[in-house]
Amino acid sequence: MLNLKRGALEGPARDWLEVLHPQDRDRFRATLDAVIDQRRGKVMQTFRLRSEDGHFRWFRLRARPIIGSDGEVIRCVGTLLDVTEERTAEERLLHDAVHDNLTGLPNRELFVDRLRTSVVRSKAEETAKPTLLVLNLDRFKQVNDSIGLSAGDSILLTVARRLGRLIGQQDTLGRLSGDQYGLVLLSEQEPDRIVALADSLRKAVRAPITFGDREIFLTCSVGIAFFEGGKQAVEDMVTNAEIALNHAKRLGGDRQEVFRPILRPLDKNIVDLEADLREAIKKETLGVFFQPIIRLEDQSIAGYEVLARWNHPKRGKIAPSEFIPIAEQSGLINELGMYMLDKGAQQLAFWQREYPMQRPLFASVNLSSRQLLKQDLINDVKAVLSRTSLEPGTLKLELTESLVMSNPEYSAKVLERLRSLGAGLSLDDFGTGHSSLSYLQRFPFDTIKIDQSFVKTNGSSARSVLLGTIVAMGHDLGMSVVAEGAESETDALELYQLGCEYAQGFFFGEAMSSSEATKMLRKMPAEAESA
CA–CA separation, 398 vs 427, rounded Å?
Answer: 6
pLDDT at 531: 38
Q: How far is CA 222 from CA 164, 182, 279, in A?
A: 15, 9, 30
- For the cut 50, the answer to whether the pLDDT of residue 103 exceeds it is yes
CA–CA separation, 121 vs 465, rounded Å?
Answer: 58
pLDDT at 530: 36
Mean pLDDT estimate for the chain? 85
pLDDT at 142: 75
Q: Do 375 and 333 touch, CB atoms closer than 8 A?
A: no
* Mean pLDDT of all residues in 219-225: 92
pLDDT at 94: 66
The C-alpha angle 433, 438, 443, rounded to 5 degrees, equals: 75
pLDDT at 320: 87
Dihedral (CA of 156, 162, 165, 167) sign: negative
Contacts 24+ apart (CB under 8 A), 507-514: 508/292, 508/293, 508/294, 509/291, 509/292, 510/291, 511/289, 511/290, 511/291, 511/305, 511/307, 511/309, 512/289, 512/290, 512/291, 512/292, 513/287, 513/289, 513/290, 514/288, 514/290, 514/347
pLDDT in tens, 396-432: 999 887 677 767 778 888 999 999 999 999 988 776 6
pLDDT in tens, 87-101: 877 767 666 666 787
Q: How many CA atoms lie within 13 A of 326 on its CB side?
A: 20
The whole-angstrom distance between residue 281's C-alpha and the CA centroid of its chain comes to: 26
Question: Which amino acid is it at 446?
Answer: D
CA–CA separation, 22 vs 25, rounded Å?
Answer: 5
- For the cut 80, the answer to whether the pLDDT of residue 462 exceeds it is no
CA–CA separation, 247 vs 221, rounded Å?
Answer: 9
Q: Tell which CATH architecture fits domain 102-268.
A: 2-Layer Sandwich (3.30)
* Mean pLDDT of all residues in 289-315: 92
The whole-angstrom distance between residue 286's C-alpha and the CA centroid of its chain comes to: 28
What kind of fold does domain 270-530 have according to CATH?
TIM Barrel (3.20.20)
The DSSP symbol for 269 reads T
CB neighbours of residue 268 within 10 Å: 10
Q: Do 43 and 76 touch, CB atoms closer than 8 A?
A: yes
pLDDT in tens, 144-195: 777 777 778 888 999 999 999 999 888 999 998 888 999 999 998 888 899 9
- For the cut 70, the answer to whether the pLDDT of residue 40 exceeds it is yes
CA–CA separation, 208 vs 200, rounded Å?
Answer: 15
The DSSP symbol for 393 reads T
Q: Do 393 and 432 touch, CB atoms closer than 8 A?
A: no
pLDDT at 284: 92
Instruction: State residue 139 phi and psi, 5-degree precision.
Output: 60, 25
Q: How many helices and strands (H and E) does the chain possess?
A: 20, 19
R_g over Cα of the chain: 33
Instruction: State residue 488 phi and psi, 5-degree precision.
Output: -155, 170
User: Would you kindly state where each structural domain of the chain is located, as residue ranges?
Assistant: 13-89, 102-268, 270-530
CA–CA separation, 195 vs 244, rounded Å?
Answer: 13
Q: Which of 132, 179, 182, 135 is nearest to 157 (CA)?
A: 179
CATH number, domain 13-89, options 3.30.450.20, 3.10.180.10, 3.40.190.10, 3.30.230.10:
3.30.450.20
pLDDT at 267: 58
pLDDT in tens, 316-359: 888 888 788 778 767 788 899 999 999 999 999 999 999 888 89
